[in-house]
């Protein structure tokens, strides 16, 4: 082979696209610019707006608080479509039946059997390990009813899977859905929960008297 042939070969190698396996994965997305704009307009019609920016990482646990009203779910869904985030929320497997099964999955739902050997936390950790891109949304309060403390399942999932936590506030006082900054979980679930709980205030809740006052 001549020197000219060798130079041509080198140029071809450098110009070839990177292997898909080496490509950097970012935040999982859904929708189109048009669908995102439409969802944002619908939020605006109800007097709500988005603040903050999604992190460009492929996997994380997204926690939503305060959670005191049935309205939190549709607001969260419209927020998901507005920012174009592909996320998952876990629901009882018995909910995913005809005729709503397809709709729930399209809205990000994924069935989980709470009686399974791994439990909900174990099943979520396994799914994180099996998927290069996955965002799981969890409400740390776990219920709209009044409770005194946050549940720590969200932390066990994030810590067990080795993924960060993204806090998102549904703030009724300002009618804003605000994306926070990533939080790296440590071995101390109590301290981490206290730190994350301080990012939310009672005034944000639709029903402040029902918001968990302790981490």
- pLDDT one-digit tens code per residue, 114-168: 777 778 999 999 999 999 999 999 999 976 677 778 999 999 999 999 999 999 9
pLDDT band at 12 (very low <50, low <70, confident <90, very high): very low
Task: Give this prediction's pTM.
Answer: 0.86
Q: Is 90 exceeded by the pLDDT of residue 24?
A: no
Q: Are 185 and 164 in contact (CB under 8 A)?
A: yes
CA distance 123 to 113: 9
Across 39-68, average pLDDT: 97
**pLDDT score of 114:** 77
Dihedral angle sign, alpha carbons of residues 166, 163, 54, 153? negative
pLDDT band at 13 (very low <50, low <70, confident <90, very high): very low
Neighbours of 161 (CB within 10 A): 21
- Give residue for tokens 């939190």: 72
Across 2-15, average pLDDT: 41
CA distance 102 to 113: 18
Q: Are 90 and 120 in contact (CB under 8 A)?
A: yes
Q: Is the peptide bond before 124 cis (omega within 30 degrees of 0)?
A: no
For residue 191, is it left (φ>0), alpha (ψ between -120 and 50) or beta?
A: alpha
For the chain, the average pLDDT equals 88
CA distance 17 to 84: 27
Q: Is 80 exceeded by the pLDDT of residue 67?
A: yes
pLDDT band at 10 (very low <50, low <70, confident <90, very high): very low
């Amino acid at each position: 082979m001549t020197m000219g042939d060798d130079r041509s070969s080198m140029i071809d190698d450098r110009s070839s696209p990177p292997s898909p396996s080496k490509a950097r994965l970012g935040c999982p997305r859904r929708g189109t610019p048009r669908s995102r704009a439409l969802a944002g307009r619908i939020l605006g019609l109800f007097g709500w707006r988005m603040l903050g920016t999604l992190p460009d990482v492929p996997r994380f646990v997204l926690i939503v608080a305060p959670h005191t009203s049935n309205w939190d779910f549709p607001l969260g869904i419209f927020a998901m479509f507005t920012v174009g985030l592909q996320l998952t929320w876990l629901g009882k497997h018995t909910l995913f039946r005809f005729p709503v099964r397809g709709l729930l999955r399209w809205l990000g739902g994924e069935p989980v059997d709470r009686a399974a050997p791994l439990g909900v936390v174990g099943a979520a950790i396994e799914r994180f390990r099996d998927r290069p891109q996955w965002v799981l949304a969890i409400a740390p309060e776990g219920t709209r009813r009044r409770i005194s403390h946050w549940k720590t399942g969200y932390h066990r999932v994030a810590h067990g899977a080795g993924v960060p936590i993204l806090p998102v506030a549904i703030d009724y006082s300002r009618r804003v859905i605000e994306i926070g900054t990533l939080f790296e979980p440590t071995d101390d679930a109590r301290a981490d929960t206290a730190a994350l709980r301080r990012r939310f205030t009672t005034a944000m809740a639709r029903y402040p008297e029902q918001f968990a006052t302790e981490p």
